[in-house]
A and B are shown apart, each in its own frame.
Chain A
Amino acid sequence: MLAEIGVSTTFLAFVAALYALVMSLWGARTRSEGKVLSARNAVFVAFVLLLAACVVLVIALVREDYQISYVWSVSNPSMPLFFRITALWGSQAGSLLFWSLLLAAFAAGAVWLNWHNNRRLMPYVIAYSMATLAFFLFLSIFIENPFNRYWFVGQETLETALIPAGGVAPSDALLRDSANGLNPLLRHFGMAIHPPMLYLGFVGFLVPFAFAMAALASGDLSTNWIRASRRWALAAWLFLSLGLILGGRWAYDVLGWGGYWGWDPVENAAFLPWLIGTAFLHSVMIQEKRGMLKTWNMFLVIGTFSAVIFGTFATRSGLVESVHSFARSEIGFPMFAFWFGMTIISVWLILWRRSRGELRDEHAFANIFSRESLFVLNNLVFVALFIAIFWGSFGSPIVSELFLNANITLGTEYFQLVTPPLFAALFILMGIAPLSAWGATSLRRLGRSALVPLVLALASLIVFVLMGMTMPVALIGYGIVVFAGWVAIYETYRALMARVRQQGENPIQAFFALLRRNPRRYGGYLIHLGVTVIGIGVLGSTLFQQETQQTLRVGQSMEIAGYTVRYDGFAAGQISEDGRVMDIATLTVLRDGQELQTLRPRRDFFPNVQDMNTMTIAASRSTLQDDVYTLLVDWEMTPTEEAATFKVYVNPLVNLIWWGGFVLIAGTLAATWSGDTLPARSRKSLMVGATA
């Protein structure tokens, strides 16, 4: 029964999306308000139907309805309730349905909130968002249907949504006993948050894309589409940032290699839209303030969504090999066709409007040190990073296979060689750009503004040297990163002190007043500060990471980075509630003879899972200063020999990455606070003018 409800609601949502697409375009063409209204209602209906479909699938997972093949493949009787629910996005079919739900939610939200202010854009916003939704629902219904069921037909087993002629359903007991269970890699708390955040980020960029396309299609090329989509773009960027950070944390906890970012193609596929999206968020300010870069902004917003679709295609099609390959399926060709078609249509629309002179800029660049020039430079660096990472992840493997008859996969070594200069350039611009002014800034003025942050950065470096840091690369890296951070702090401090002096507020009051008064600027500084903190963490954990691997007998210990790690015992074959078999070692971390913490690294084996059934679970002692990260690599338990091999990493400052993430979230929330892009005075005078 659940399967039938799921199939029906998904199919009706598909019909509603198609209906909305047709009616919105028809309504726009015939200028029929009624048709566009009908399209709008269909958007809401599609959302409600998809919500129902997802709820049905969750109920099926919770009620252990193994007749549904998706439930059989991602759960089993021993799985706890929490992972049953998160199994909704635990494999291809469920995650596509969940993705469609989020897409419908964003589309419905955008239509609901912008209906009155942007009526002219709305038909096209509906058309583009529903075309995208209809495509994903097509995949869900015809290729990866999460409501398929197993059927015995003669000697064959079929997996289909419709009941085949002569089909007999397998017995519940048979399915229950053979249920596969969720991929062990996904049985982690982070997986409850990481994929939804990433999907929200991906899907969220649909709204700015749809508004940009609507602007191109309708001819309303003013800043309306930017104003309407700004919050959506920021929200999408926030979710994508969160998804990336949480993904790093998941990798750190689950993949067991001592790091958080492996330059895996799928990680990179999520990072690429973030890069272009970040460039867009900076560049769009130039269009708002100076009426410039209209064409460029269109390319960026379309490039961001195009990168989202390409990343989804690359992740789910098996185009590249990755640790995320559990999501592979047959949707590759349709996704490629959709991505290609969408990108071509978008670019054609931009070029068409540009050829008609409708994307002409209102101002020109006057000074290389003006803020808009520095923002353009920042955009170029983001694009260069995009090119470098795209080439390493997808370009090189594809080109080498097509033209060189070789299978070249570029790994961490390539990325560590190519990207650091570009990241350094970004941090330098992140420091300098906020000090310059819109329109024009002289080099002398810029130098004067940068003097204090530069002195503070130098003072920080002196402290680092006194603490024993002598590696030139580290000093250069830290110099650049902390300079950007000091600019953010110093600029906020100056404004804060001005308020304290003028308004008599205490610093905390003054800080929140600043955020209220100019959330974009001071939220932006908070974001920059967060990125600086992340940068400090990345540099520390990359340049100063230490590792060792040793085999110990019980009572023996190893030394690393001033720590002593003692092997205290081993418990083999522990069986947990969800059926996994755990081999657990007990280690004690000591410093200067004092016991600091007991750690239990372990190896988990999932007997009911067919592939990827073993996981190495790290145990770590975390402080702000560093992580002592331990892995159980191997063991020998015989009557004569009781030894285990451990890999131990000391990752300095790695926790700053997660803390920097929190600052970044706070900054983005503060920046999103700002609703209007027009100054209050302009709004007021315009309203007065309109009334008159």
Chain B
Amino acid sequence: MSMHNRQIQVFSPPLYLLRRLCPSVGVRATAPLPRKSVSREMIIRSLWVLLAVAFVLATPASAQDSTITDDQVNAVASEMYCPVCENIPLDACATQACADWRQEIRDMLGEGYTSDEVKADFVRRFGDRVVGTPLDPTLRALSVVTPYVLAGLALIAAVWTVLRWRMGVKSSAAGVPEFNAPPTPETESDSLRARLERDVAGGTGL
């Protein structure tokens, strides 16, 4: 009754350094290094190797053994949606496909990817639907700002309407203080009576 075979992932700074040294380490490091002169590249690689070896020697054993916890995986997965299911957060989806994607996130975090890099990778492969808001800054700003712009326009329209009403009151009722005084019970009663009488009199039909 085995659900998923989990590999224990070791957070490995040396591996990260090695990825910088050799892009083929780590399956998702797809961007090729720019071409440079061989001698200069060799020097840089040698320096990276030395640095990596030094780091391995200097890193305490506990740090080398640290694992990516489920909570770390879920922290990233909860900000994404299942690429195939219907609007279900990736951390909550119970399908095998989502379990596999969570495993991928675990692997990537283990390889030193940041949360944003993981999300960017998923967006590249599955599109913007896997994140709650687009990663592209322009699209993101558009998405978030648009409702406020629309609401702002509605507010301007409302203010304009209210101002028009007020101007209408000032120009047509200079000597009528009715609107500025709080309505007394008698006034309200009269108003209701008048309204009801109008109702009884009826309006125009179609």
Contacts and interface: CB of A to CB of B under 8 A. Distances in A.
Interface of A: 28-29, 120, 217-224, 255-258, 262, 264-265, 289-291, 321-323, 325, 358, 361-367, 373, 376, 380, 383-384, 387-388, 391-392, 395-396, 400, 404, 406-414, 417-418, 422, 437-441, 547-551, 572, 583, 603, 614-616, 634-638, 645, 647, 678-679, 681-682, 685-686
A548 B3 CA distance: 19
A418 B148 contact: yes
Contacts of B189: 679, 681-682, 685
3 closest Cβ pairs, A-B complex: A411-B132, A413-B132, A257-B92
Contact of B70 (A361, A549, A572): A549
Given A365-B162, A634-B4, A408 B143 contact: yes
B192 A217 contact: no
B1 interface: yes
Interface stretch (B57-65, B82-90, B107-115): B82-90
A163 B93 CA distance: 43
A391 B191 contact: no
Contacts of A645: 70
Given A28-B206, A218-B206, A418 B199 contact: no
Contact of A409 (B129, B151, B169): B129
A219 B195 contact: no
Contact of A686 (B165, B168, B183, B193): B193
Contacts of B97: none
B81 A440 contact: no
Contacts of B128: 400, 406-409
B158 to A, nearest CB: 6
Contacts of B206: 28-29, 217-219
B71 interface: yes
A322 B183 CA distance: 50
Contact of B1 (A218, A257, A635): A635
A219 B70 contact: no
B34 interface: no
B203 interface: yes
Given A220-B202, A387-B151, A413-B133, A262 B89 contact: yes
Given A219-B203, A223-B199, A614 B182 contact: no
Contact of B129 (A380, A407, A422, A616): A407
A446 to B, nearest CB: 13
Contacts of A373: 162
B2 interface: yes
Interface in B119-177: 127-129, 131-134, 139, 143-144, 146-148, 150-151, 154-155, 158, 162, 165-166, 168-169
A255 B193 contact: no
Interface of B: 1-4, 69-71, 74, 79, 81, 86-89, 91-92, 94, 99, 127-129, 131-134, 139, 143-144, 146-148, 150-151, 154-155, 158, 162, 165-166, 168-169, 178-183, 185, 188-189, 191-193, 195-196, 198-199, 202-206
B86 A321 contact: yes
Given A414-B143, A440-B181, A380 B154 contact: yes
B151 A388 contact: yes
A220 B88 contact: no
A681 B205 CA distance: 31
Nearest to A264: B87
Given A321-B87, A364-B166, A638-B2, 19 more contacts: A222-B196, A262-B87, A323-B88, A364-B165, A364-B179, A365-B162, A373-B162, A380-B155, A391-B147, A395-B146, A410-B132, A411-B89, A417-B133, A417-B144, A418-B147, A603-B94, A634-B3, A678-B196, A679-B188
B66 to A, nearest CB: 15
A322 B3 contact: no
B129 A220 contact: no
Given A392-B147, A409-B128, A219 B205 contact: yes
A683 to B, nearest CB: 9
A173 to B, nearest CB: 34
Contact of A406 (B139, B180, B204): B139
Nearest to B3: A634
Contacts of A417: 133, 144
Contact of A384 (B89, B139, B147, B198): B147
A478 B4 CA distance: 43
Contacts of A411: 81, 87, 89, 131-133
Given A364-B168, A408-B128, A635-B3, A322 B86 contact: yes
A686 B182 CA distance: 24
B147 to A, nearest CB: 4
Contact of B195 (A217, A222, A257, A551): A222
18 contacts: A219-B206, A222-B195, A223-B199, A289-B188, A358-B203, A363-B178, A365-B166, A391-B146, A406-B134, A409-B87, A409-B128, A411-B87, A413-B133, A634-B4, A635-B1, A636-B3, A647-B74, A682-B189
A291 B195 contact: yes
Contacts of B71: 547-549
A258 B127 CA distance: 26
A315 to B, nearest CB: 12
B180 A440 contact: yes
Contacts of B188: 289, 679
Contacts of A412: 89, 132
Contacts of A364: 165-166, 168-169, 179
Contacts of B182: 437-441
A449 to B, nearest CB: 14
A551 B71 CA distance: 11
A645 B86 CA distance: 24
A262 B92 CA distance: 11
Contacts of A392: 143, 147
Contacts of A614: 94
A392 to B, nearest CB: 7
A362 B83 CA distance: 55
A551 B69 CA distance: 10
A406 B135 CA distance: 12
A264 B87 CA distance: 7
A391 B206 CA distance: 37
A526 to B, nearest CB: 25
Contact of A387 (B2, B147, B193, B199): B147
A388 B147 contact: yes
Contacts of A367: 180
Given A28-B206, A222-B198, A572-B1, A323 B87 contact: yes
B88 A637 contact: no
A21 to B, nearest CB: 15
A376 B132 CA distance: 32
Contact of A396 (B89, B92, B143, B195): B143
